[in-house]
């Protein structure tokens, strides 16, 4: 479910939780790299024939993951298809929805209000959240 991004609390950076702390920004960027790598793994393992060694190298060298975590992710990616990509897809969909909502609200846009409204509906697919949030 691409809306799993909501449940994972990806709105923290927009909520001001990071408080402009460079350490928190670094953690957020590490998470974002992980989401991108997950999508790459998902595709390359199932459609491109990525080997375990290639996957582990990508996760550990480019994604700053520990070996045990990377090995677990390899197993998970081999057993599922498209699930790891859903985090990236969901994040992109929510950011696009936020842009639409910002245009709708104009100067009255409030990120806290947007996030609370978004999260108050649970984790339905973003297409339904779009209908709910943009019709209000």
Please give the average per-residue pLDDT across 61-71, as a whole number.
96
- Residue spans of the domains in the chain: they are 4-134
Task: Please give the Cα distance from 58 to 77 (Å, whole number).
Answer: 14
Q: Is residue 4 a contact partner of residue 129, using CB atoms and an 8 Å limit?
A: no
> Angle of helix 126-134 relative to helix 85-105, nearest 10 degrees?
10
> Angle of helix 111-119 relative to helix 126-134, nearest 10 degrees?
120
pLDDT band for position 18 (50/70/90)?
A: low
* Residue (of 44, 38, 39) closest to 70 by Cα position: 38
pLDDT per position as a tens digit, 88-115: 999 899 999 999 999 999 999 999 999 9
pLDDT per position as a tens digit, 69-87: 999 999 999 999 889 999 8
* Residue (of 54, 56, 95) closest to 73 by Cα position: 56
pLDDT score recorded for residue 9? 47
Estimate to the nearest angstrom the gap between the alpha carbon of 70 and the chain centroid. Answer: 18
């Amino acid at each position: 479910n691409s809306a799993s991004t909501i449940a994972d609390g990806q709105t923290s950076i927009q909520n001001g939780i990071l408080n402009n702390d460079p350490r928190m920004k670094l953690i957020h960027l590490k998470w974002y790299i992980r989401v991108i790598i997950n999508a790459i793994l998902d595709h390359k393992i199932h459609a491109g024939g990525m080997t375990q060694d290639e996957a582990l190298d990508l996760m550990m060298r480019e994604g700053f993951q520990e070996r045990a975590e990377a090995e677990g992710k390899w197993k998970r990616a081999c057993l599922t298809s498209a699930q790891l990509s859903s985090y990236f897809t969901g994040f992109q969909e929510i950011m696009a929805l936020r842009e639409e909502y910002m245009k709708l609200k104009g100067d009255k846009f409030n990120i806290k209000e947007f996030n609370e409204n978004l999260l108050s509906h649970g984790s339905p697919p973003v297409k339904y959240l779009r209908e709910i949030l943009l019709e209000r």
